[in-house]
A and B are shown apart, each in its own frame.
Chain A
Amino acid sequence: MLKRLTNATLAACFILPSIAVASDLDGMTPQQLLPLAQKEGSVTVFSLSSRIAKIEKAFEAAYPGIDLIGLDMSSTKQIARIEAEQQAGVHAVDVLYIADTPVVFTKLLEAKRIVNYVPPRVTGELEDRYKGPLLTQRLSTKVLMYNEKAFPDGSPVANLWQLTEPQWQGRVLMVDPSQRGELLDLLTEIALHPDEMAAAYKAHFGKDIEVEADLQGAGEQFIKDLFANDLILVPNSDVLNKSVGDVNAKNPPVGFGTYSDRRDNEKEGWALQIANNVEPANGILFPAVLTVADKAPNPAAARLLIDFMFGDDTPSGGPGFEPFNVPGDYATRRTIADHPDSVKLGELKAWTIDPAKTAAARGRIADLIITLQ
């Protein structure tokens, strides 16, 4: 009995300080983190973007003595790898830079494979919804895009319900939502706004919507009608952009794509433009998050890196954020200005997804679209 007590006390002596250290780290400034991080010597990050290579240079220049090891891989592969590694008791990764947040939320956060960390330096400059359950660094889009060369007077679509009419039959493109998570999130978000979808229906058709018995709400009815109107599925955004954006196209289709792809218009010979004034919304904003892996081997350097990737106080965000500052993507940090060539974040008519809500509703929509194919 006494022995057990001593053991417990001994254990407490060792464990408590380490817990204290972890929570201490969360409150430290970059200056306080730096010496600890330099003692750790390196930090490993999985990144959804290969632009992590630019961050590596900038980070190592700003904080000499800390080696940044950046591995770029898709969100799906990051999740698979973290799960498998932690099941084997391996803790080799410090930071995840990852999208696909509904899956991250259920598979990693709820399973306590990652911990949320908000750098104190920027906490006052972030809205609460960007600080939890996962720390959002920037927002990307899946929104309705059209060809501005073929439609010089602006978007040919002003209400999502138009896409279910004969005029747009076989002329709406989308990367297959049963293949790519972001598009599934987009359809899920539409289903999560039944009242707004019903109001938009009434505004367009002048009568109340009748939702079929086995569907829940106007959003799901829209999804069904969209598929029934010969929605064309494509394998990737490259195919979509070429089809929607081609400058020489006579009567091009519209499609749900990525706003920031517009920056390639000149290079690729596209005329992609966002259809912003669409009732009730033109699509979604979805987060790219930064998070610390559970039992990260370099906890101080991990936090220093996340802090660094929120940029400095300049409007461009400086070397820590600039690689990600492209028109059509949006920084969550208020001091970083939206790109002058793009619609301001406040004026963008897109819904911002909530990873927890999307995660809860996503399965039903995934099943629905399988039956519609």
Chain B
Amino acid sequence: MTSLSLFAPSGGRLLRSGFLLPAFLIAVVAILVVAPLLRILLTTLTPEGLAAWKAVLFSPLSANLWWRPLFNTMILGFSVGAGCLLIGGFLAWLVVMTDVPGRRYLGLMATLPYMIPSFAAALAWGTLFRNSRLGGSAGFFETSGLAIPDWLAWGLIPTAIVLIAHYYSLAYTIIAAALSSVGADLVEAGQMAGAKRPRIFFGIILPVVTPALIAAASLTFAGAVANFAAPALLGLPVRMQTLSTRLFGMIETGQNERGFVLALLLIAVSALFLWLSDRIVSGRRAFVTVTGKGGRTKRFPLGAWRWPLFTVAVVIGLLTTVMPVLVLAASSLAPQSGALFSNWTLHFWIGEGGGEIAQGQAGIFRNPVLIDALWNTIRLGLVVAFTTMLLGLALAYTIVQRRGSLLATVLSQLAFLPLLVPSIAFAAAYIALFGAPIGPLPSLYGTFALLVIAASAHNLPFAVQSGRSVLGQISADIEESARLTGAGLIRRLFAIIFPLAIRGLFAGAILVFVKMVRDLSLVVLLFTATSPVLSMVAYRYAAEGFMQFANAITLVILVVCLAASLLAHSLQNRVQKWKQP
């Protein structure tokens, strides 16, 4: 800290001009986000690209290639966004603001679904609701004699439900972080003034966490819109296409230009909605208040509702966390993927190999590359989470400071887009842009650095959105008084903003970490090292038809994510000492 205070003033003087940081950020965003996007745009301006624009928008194909998938995608996006806000917000309120029993466990359970891949939730749905449309063995309900209609087994409705079950924990993470910084003094003031509970909720708490709600809604919307596994597994059997399945299909069948056109259009439509939600937030400047002033969070007594609400939360947790984990665990133990709950064996975890099972392959804990892969995965996840949060914090800070200005609008829009660019296009653009040496800079091809840069850019939205939602609550006068006493930007960052915003920052870091640890596409295209990451090991097993091994690895990944989130939780408690009883 001493060294910091030594350096802070000089750095501060430069930064206080209020010009350097925004200029730097504009440059960074231009290189990391705008350049790859422009490159993708340029590839759609070639003759083939222009033909693709025409085919997508103005041809007999348009209806099935663009309009109907767009319609499905938007319905999915909005219903998942709304559903996630309801469930994630409800759980966050319950865990953070009330005296519901077992808060810590409920909170832990609510963070889990996002760490479980969405295909597990879709599989879990199939185990229960699959009907005879595809043949094969039916789901639980049909075998028990209950006919499941097609609309409940396949298509939009099950896809939306599965995606809500997957993404609500993302909303929970962000909203809980914001709620935990609502000061008790505000609530107490309301109570002293005689306000009733609904009045306090709608008049004080809701407005204060509005930025977090918008952030959560945007991220879950984008997640649902970009998700491939759930709509493919549950939608294709009734020929429901979304933009993500269309996009994947176009690239997979070598029609890249059409895929890129779809991606760009999707980005444009989503940006429009984001801009609208941005307007809502910036129109409510009055709510910059709260954190850093009050003491501990004030908890509402639930009274007679304590146990009923607890039961609701537990049921949600059981359905969205325990069920998918159970299906994953069972499928890492069952020799036949068609009969998940019979003939369990630990072979796929610790078996010695050489026998009859799995063509003589040994269990994952006997795979010599596993430890290597585990270490690589954790390293990659930590580094990317750190760089992404650093960049995201700077961006969020600038956006919040200059709320309403053109700069803030442009930066926040750009920082949101990478989530919607398909990984394969993003990675290809990065190789083409940074593979060759640029001026004095060496070629980054095949380096760990390139992977980290691309991944940071790709995951930027998580960092920026979660950073914004928390920074938006830090009252400007604390920073103002620090500035008046002569504290530079860096000093203010470390002494005020960082400790106050740490919960939100860690929430974002966890989301980035989880995404990075699970995501394969970027890694496979940008990483040349022969020692792989866990998701590559899982892919290798799956490609050989051994889903049991792949699912075992997925569970290992889940444990890694969970450990990271527990670590972050204990760290943030240590920093925010004033919250401890």
Per the bound structure, the CA–CA distance linking A243 and B241 in Å amounts to: 21
A238 touches B236 (CB 8 A): no
Contact residues in A for B248 (Cβ distance below 8 Å): 179
Q: Is the CB of B134 within 8 A of A264?
A: no
Q: A179-B245, A242-B136 are in contact. Are A88 and B336 (CB under 8 A)?
A: no
A343 contacts partner chain B, Cβ-Cβ < 8 Å:
no
With contact pairs A83-B428, A234-B236, A268-B336 given, residues A253 and B137 touching in the complex (Cβ less than 8 Å):
no
Min CB gap A56→B, angstroms: 9
* Chain B residues in 8 Å Cβ range of A249: 135-137
| Interfacial chain B residues near A243, Cβ < 8 Å | 134-136
State whether B232 touches A80 (Cβ < 8 A): no
Interface residues of A in 215-258 (CB under 8 A from B): 232-236, 238-239, 242-246, 248-249, 251-253
Q: How many residues of A contact B (CB 8 A)?
A: 66
Residue of B251, B434, B443, B543 with most partner-chain A CB within 10 A: B543
- Among residues 172 to 216 in chain A, which have CB atoms less than 8 Å away from a CB atom of chain B? 173, 176-181, 184
Complex interface residues of chain B between 518 and 556 (CB less than 8 A to chain A): 521, 524-525, 528, 530, 539-540, 543-545, 547
**Which of A137-145, A295-303, A314-322, A364-372 makes up part of the contact surface?**
A364-372
At the interface, yes or no: B254 with Cβ under 8 Å from chain A? Answer: yes
B339 interface contact, C-beta 8 A: yes
CA distance A88 to B526 in the complex (A): 13
Taking a contact as CB atoms under 8 Å apart, the answer to whether A268 and B427 are in contact is no
Among B6-14, B57-65, B81-89, B168-176, the stretch that binds chain A is B57-65
Interface string of B220-237 (1 = CB under 8 A from A): 000000000000110011
**Cβ contacts A351-373/B at 8 Å (1 or 0 each):** 00000000000110011001101
Say if the beta carbon of B424 comes within 8 Å of chain A: yes
Q: Compute how far the CA of A5 lies from the CA of B540 in the bound complex, rounded to whole angstroms.
A: 55
Given the complex of chains A and B, what is the CA–CA distance between A109 and B507 in angstroms? 47
Contact partners of B544 in chain A: CB under 8 A: 50-51
B435 touches A269 (CB 8 A): no
Contact between chains at A370 and B436 (CB < 8 Å): no
Beyond A85-B445, A90-B445, A243-B135, whether A100 also contacts B428 by CB under 8 A is no
Taking CB atoms, residues of chain B closer than 8 Å to A181 are 252-254
Does chain B have a CB within 8 A of A166?
A: no
B446 lies within 8 A of chain A by Cβ: yes
Say yes or no: A366 contacts B135, CB within 8 Å: no
Task: Return chain A residues, CB-CB under 8 Å to B55.
Answer: 367
A344 sits at the interface (CB 8 A):
no
Q: From residue B87, how far is it (CB to closest CB) to chain A in Å?
A: 26
Q: Is the CB of A233 within 8 A of B239?
A: yes
B-chain residues with CB within 8 Å of residue A131 when the two chains form the complex = none
Set of chain A residues within 8 Å of B540, measured between Cβ atoms: 50, 72
Contact B436–A89 (Cβ < 8 Å): yes
* A79, B338: Cα distance in complex, Å: 34
Q: Mark B332-368, 1 if CB is under 8 A from A, else 0.
A: 0001111100000000000000000010000000000
Q: Would A238 and B61 count as touching, CB distance under 8 A? A: no
Q: Which residue of B lies closest to A254 (CB)?
A: B135
Is B312 located at the chain interface by the 8 A CB criterion? Answer: no
Q: Does chain A have a CB within 8 A of B269?
A: no
Contacts of A242 in B (CB 8 A): 136-137, 337-338
Of B133, B241, B253, the most chain A CB neighbours within 10 A belong to B253
- A40 CB to closest chain B CB, in angstroms? 17
CB atoms of B255 and A84 under 8 A apart: no
A109 to B64, CA, bound (A): 32
- Per-residue CB contact flags for chain B residues 247-291 toward chain A (1 = under 8 Å, else 0) read 011111111100000000000000000000000000000000000
Task: Mark contacts of B47-67 with chain A using CB atoms, 8 A cut-off: 1 yes-contact digit, 0 otherwise.
Answer: 000000001000011001100
Given the interface pairs A77-B424, A244-B135, the reply to whether A373 lies near B64 with Cβ below 8 Å is yes
Using A80-B427, A92-B446 as known contacts, say yes or no to A253 and B135 having CB atoms under 8 A apart: yes
B431 within 8 Å of A (CB atoms): yes
Residue pair B254, A85 in contact (C-beta under 8 Å): no
A252 touches B136 (CB 8 A): yes
0/1 interface trace, chain B 115-155, chain A, CB 8 Å (1 if under): 00000000000000000011111000000000000000000
Task: Say yes or no: A73-B530 contact (C-beta < 8 A), given A50-B543, A249-B136.
Answer: no
B284 → A minimal CB distance (Å): 43
Q: Is B449 engaged at the interface, CB distance under 8 Å to the other chain? A: no
B252 touches A76 (CB 8 A): yes
- Say whether A103 contacts B254, CB under 8 Å: yes
Check: A71 CB closer than 8 A to any chain B CB: yes
Q: Contact: A178 with B524, CB < 8 Å?
A: no
**Known A50-B543, A246-B136; contact A90-B436, beta-carbon cutoff 8 A:** yes
A69 interface residue, CB < 8 Å from B?
yes
On chain B, the residues within 8 Å of A367 by CB distance are 55, 61
Chain A contacts for B428, CB-based, 8 A: 80-81, 83-84
Task: Tell me, in angstroms, the Cα distance from A154 to B60 when the chains sit together.
Answer: 42
Distance in angstroms between the alpha carbons of A370 and B56 in the assembled complex: 11
- How far does the alpha carbon of A126 sit from the alpha carbon of B339 in the complex, in Å? 44
**B432 in contact (CB, < 8 A):** yes
Whether B251 lies near A176 (C-beta < 8 A) is no
Query: When chains A and B are docked, how far (Å) is the Cα of A153 from the Cα of B432?
Result: 56
Cross-chain contact A179 with B253 (CB below 8 angstroms): yes
Instruction: Provide the residues of chain B in CB contact with A277, threshold 8 Å.
Output: none
User: Is A87 close to B, CB under 8 A?
Assistant: yes
Assembly CA distance A367 to B547 (angstroms): 34
Asked if residues A366 and B136 are in contact (CB atoms below 8 Å), the reply is: no
Closest CB in chain B relative to A53 CB, distance in Å: 8
Question: Is A339 in the interface zone, CB < 8 Å from B?
Answer: no
Within the assembled complex, what's the spacing in Å between the Cα atoms of A91 and B117? 35
Q: A178-B253, A179-B248, A253-B135 are in contact. Are A90 and B336 (CB under 8 A)?
A: no
A371 and B134 contacting across the interface, CB-CB below 8 Å: no
Please give me the residue from chain B that is nearest to A105 by CB atom: B254
Give A85-124 as 1s and 0s: 1 = Cβ < 8 Å from B's Cβ atoms.
1011110100000001011001100000000000000000
Q: From the candidates A73, A88, A176, A246, name the one contacting B338 in the complex (CB within 8 A).
A: A246
Contact A77 B525, beta carbon cutoff 8 Å? yes
Minimum C-beta distance from B527 to chain A (A)? 9
Any chain B CB within 8 A of the CB of A4? no
Are B525 and A267 interface neighbours, CB within 8 A?
A: no
Q: Which of A50, A73, A179, A370 contacts B252 (CB 8 A)?
A: A179
CB proximity of A171 to chain B, nearest CB, Å: 7
A65 at interface, CB cutoff 8 A: no
A159: CB under 8 A from chain B? no
Instruction: Say whether, besides A233-B237, A233-B239, A85 and B431 are in contact (CB < 8 Å).
Output: yes
B233, B237, B424, B443: the one within 8 Å of A80 (CB): B424
CB-based contact A180/B134 at 8 Å: no
B435 touches A71 (CB 8 A): no
Residue contact B431 to A88, C-beta cutoff 8 Å: yes
A371 and B254 contact, CB distance less than 8 A: no
**A370 near B336: Cβ-Cβ < 8 Å:** no
Residues of chain B contacted by A71 (CB below 8 angstroms): 528, 530
* Contact status A267-B335, CB under 8 Å: yes
Tell whether, in the assembled complex, residue B424 and residue A76 are in contact, meaning their CB atoms are under 8 Å apart: yes
B239 contacts A373, C-beta separation under 8 Å = yes
**Contacting residues, chain B, for A100 (C-beta < 8 A):** 254
Task: State the CA gap A239–B241 with chains docked (Å).
Answer: 17
Residue of A nearest to B241 (CB): A373
Q: Which chain B positions have C-beta within 8 A of A38?
A: none
Q: How far in angstroms is the closest Cβ of chain A from B66?
A: 10
The reply to whether B336 and A176 contact each other, CB–CB distance below 8 Å, is: no
- Does chain B have a CB within 8 A of A41? no
A-B CB proximity, top 9 nearest: A88-B435, A103-B254, A84-B431, A243-B136, A235-B232, A179-B249, A84-B428, A243-B134, A88-B436
18 contacts between A and B (CB under 8 A): A50-B543, A51-B544, A80-B256, A81-B525, A84-B429, A85-B435, A88-B435, A173-B134, A178-B250, A179-B249, A234-B134, A238-B547, A242-B137, A249-B137, A251-B135, A267-B358, A370-B65, A373-B239
